[in-house]
Structure 1
């Protein structure tokens, strides 16, 4: 602490905060072993994860301050500060590995957090740890990342192919529905034309019926009149106001000529 204070008060303060977090992490994992309830263990593990996240932030801040002052400090001091940073990274990675062990033990599904990605955590994928890896380890890690990338690309291609297939099926279904709608529209046009033709035919039949009714009414009146005349003639054959109907008038009496003998 005192050596860091001679270089920078800010570095000394950051180093003190990181040391406090490491002590809290150590005590927290020791306490975790004594907890029997799985839910309480999960909550304790989440709390420790938050402390590791804060520790990671402080280590990055430590690295930032060192880079900002590297032109104003000698090479030995700079090397000491980088070694201090690497020591912090390794200690934090040990707690990250311990956390994963407890996750597996508790059956907690792996979640993507600050310690799982290549750009977030201080695990083996982290750039801060790369400086402490050998060339072979870096090559192996690079090959692993390339394999993971190829797998991700293959999965993406599969998703794209499935999406294209779904789009093709959807387009075919839409085409069938469009053709079906066209047939329905044509059927509606045919029905409408038939209805108009039927309405016209009904009107013509109505007019014809009306004409037939007039003729029937006239015939009925004529027949009724004839019946009335016949009835009156039969009842009162001497009625001179009603003219004889041919074929129905009673026979005329024989008239004698003037001067004929009786």
Structure 2
């Protein structure tokens, strides 16, 4: 830092801030390996991601200041500043790689977006610090990742369409089944109404038949009582003769008949 301070106080201050962040990242990833709780791991990883994002911003600021002083520094100093910047980028990329390892290790607990490209902090390699071959390799890698993401998206779309088709067919079958159930309920309700009317008619008929039977029973009982009394006491004048059961009438003489 002393050599940077001789070039620029601003560069020295930025370098100090970046060094503090690197120490915090080193300690943070060491603690992350010891955390067992998934939620605490996620929160710790988010905090480390914020620190990496801040470190990238400082590296860009460092590069901006170096370019601003390029015309006022000699070749050796400029080379030293560029090497310092590339060293910062390399160290930050090592922490980005650690972050990816932890994310892949706990991938089931991480929300996955198939259409989400590399995060800003993951794409920390600066074009000015990469060779043409590195740029081409990085571009090919990003194209491969994009193709894989597209393939995964197509697979999810096909699975979603299949699930939607199966769901629609199941809903159609359930709708038809409900319609049949409603029709059966209407039929049952109609049958119950007819049965209720029939039961009422049978009840009225039975009541009428009972009245008739009771009346016939009384008539028969009365006839039997009269016959019984007549047979027991044929001279009883209080009981009128019943045709066919009365005793034969006595011969009566006419008034005008001679004695």
The Cα offsets for residues 184-212 of structure 1, whole Å up to 9 and x where unpaired, read as 10000000001101111111111111111
Change over 3 Å in CA distance of 1:6–1:105 after alignment to 2: same
Establish whether residue 256 from structure 1 lines up as the match of residue 256 from structure 2.
no
Distance 1:153 1:96, change over 3 A: closer
Structure 1: any 5+ residue segments left out of the alignment? none
CA contact (8 A) 1:25 1:95 kept: yes
Whole-angstrom distance in 1 between the partners of 2:217 and 2:30: 121
Asked whether the 8 Å contact 1:119–1:127 carries over to 2, the reply is: no
Q: Pairwise CA RMSD of aligned residues? A: 6.0
Indicate whether 1:107 and 2:107 are aligned: yes
Q: TM-score, normalised by structure 2?
A: 0.70
Q: How far is 1:59 from its partner?
A: 2.9
Partner secondary structure for residue 251 of structure 1: coil
1-structure distance, mates of 2:56, 2:173: 59
Contact 2:127–2:135 (Cα < 8 Å) also in 1: yes
Using a 3 Å threshold, how does the CA distance of structure 1 residues 76 and 112 change in structure 2: closer, same or farther? farther
Residues 160-198 of structure 1, C-alpha deviation per residue, up to 9 Å, x if partnerless?
000100010010001001000100100000000011011
Does structure 1 conserve the Cα–Cα contact (< 8 Å) formed by 2:21 and 2:55? yes
Judged with a 3 Å threshold, the aligned counterparts in structure 2 of structure 1 residues 184 and 67 are, in CA distance, closer, same or farther, namely: farther
Counterpart of 2:192 (choices 191, 195, 213) is: 195
Give 5+ residue unaligned stretches, structure 2.
none
Distance 1:143 1:241, change over 3 A: same
Task: Return the TM-score normalized by structure 1.
Answer: 0.69
State whether residues 53 and 114 of structure 1, in contact with CA within 8 Å, keep that contact through their aligned partners in structure 2: no
Task: Indicate conservation of the 8 Å contact 1:233/1:242, yes or no.
Answer: yes
Q: State the 1:92 CA deviation.
A: 3.9
Instruction: Tell whether the 8 Å contact from 2:117 to 2:146 is kept in structure 1 after alignment.
Output: no
Q: Distance in 1 between matches of 2:151 and 2:100?
A: 28
Shift of 1:76: 8.9
Higher RCO (C-alpha 8 Å, min separation 6)? 2
**Distance in 1 of aligned mates of 2:192 and 2:34:** 88
Structure 1 pair 130–223 and aligned structure 2 pair: CA distance change class (3 A): same
